[in-house]
């Protein structure tokens, strides 16, 4: 059981770190002035720094009035001794 937990904890910790980074990008004062492709690239680069299997196409930037929503969808495959698990993550954040 400890071995299984040891395989999952790092995946969830990296997702939590990524979620925090996405929220921080969304909350920056300069974010509304940044073009969508540049925001998408910033989020993608953070994911790459964390070693997450995120493609730039997985990053969505949506604007509605003064609000900006950043949404990312990605899967992480965890191979265990007898089976494989695909974990699905959906980090997202919005400006205020």
**Is pTM, for the whole model, over 0.85?**
yes
pLDDT of 59-71, one tens digit each? 999 999 889 999 9
Terminal-to-terminal C-alpha distance of the chain: 42
| pLDDT surpasses 70 at 1 | no
3-state secondary structure of 61: strand
pLDDT of 11-31, one tens digit each? 999 999 999 999 999 999 899
The rounded distance, in Å, linking the Cα atoms of 8 and 37 is: 32
């Amino acid at each position: 059981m400890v071995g299984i937990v040891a395989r999952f904890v790092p995946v969830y910790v990296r997702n939590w770190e990524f979620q925090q980074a996405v929220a921080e990008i969304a909350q920056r004062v300069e974010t509304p002035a940044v073009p969508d492709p540049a925001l998408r690239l910033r989020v993608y680069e953070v994911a790459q720094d964390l070693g997450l299997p995120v493609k730039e196409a997985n990053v969505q930037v949506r604007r509605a009035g003064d609000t900006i929503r950043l949404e990312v969808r990605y899967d992480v495959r965890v191979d265990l001794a007898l089976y494989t698990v695909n974990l699905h993550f959906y980090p997202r954040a919005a400006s205020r």
